[in-house]
Every structure is written in C-alpha cells, then in structure tokens.
Amino acid sequence: MLFNASPRRENEEYEEQILTKAVKAGRRTYFFDVRATRADDYYLTITESRKITATDGSHSYNRHKIFLYKEDFAKFADSLQEVVDFIRSKKPEAFDAEGNAIAPAHKE
C-alpha cells in the first residue's frame, strides 16, 4: 500500500481538499479527504476508485463515496475496529504475525 498526503493550498475554495491520503491497493485506490464546509467545519470523504479497462484498452474509473461528519467519527472508528477484529479472530489464517492480510492465491 502507498500513502500520499497533500496539505490544503492557500486561497483554495471551501469544499476543496484540506488534506488527502491515497491508499493504493491493486486496481483500487482509496482516498481519505478532509474537507471544510463554508462555516470552516471539517468532514471526511472516503472514496473507493476502481480502474476499469475496456476491451478496446481504454480506461475509466468506477467511484463510490461516503461522507463522514465529525459527530460520527468515534462511532465509525469503533465499528470499523470491531468488524476488523471480528474478521481477524474468525479468519486468523488470512493474516500474518503483524496482522497484515495475506493475499489470496489466484486460481488459474
């Protein structure tokens, strides 16, 4: 996985990115973007972007986005941790000693 972070630029319009982190995971990229409302209140957008290759070789991207507001941060983080812990406890063979997922073997 690759992480990138970019700070907000001077004079950038509101609802533009203040900070962004990109996580590359195979054909998918996950973007974590901090944005601001007009009242300068921060919120988070999480975007999954998946590269699609057409039969003619051209590329497009399929994107899904969720918006997460500060009043939901703790509940979201707690629930995410709970489900990750559940998966790790039920499928320990899918993780290495450091807790990183082991890529599944591809069938040919």
Number of compact structural domains in the chain: 1
59 part of a folded domain = yes
Q: What is the pTM of this model?
A: 0.71
Range of the domain at 33: 3-92
Phi, psi for residue 20 in degrees, rounded to 5 = -135, 140
Report d(CA 25, CA 47) in Å as an integer: 13
65 part of a folded domain = yes
Report d(CA 104, CA 89) in Å as an integer: 17
Looking up residue 62, the CATH number of its domain turns out to be 3.10.450.700
- 68: tokens are 């997460």
pLDDT digits (tens, 9 = 90+) for 65-92: 999 999 999 999 999 999 999 999 999 9
82 part of a folded domain = yes
97 part of a folded domain = no
**Contact 47/35 with Cβ under 8 angstroms?**
no
- 32: tokens are 């974590």
DSSP bridge pairs for 69? 43
pLDDT digits (tens, 9 = 90+) for 38-68: 888 999 999 999 999 999 999 899 999 999 9
Report d(CA 93, CA 79) in Å as an integer: 22
34 part of a folded domain = yes
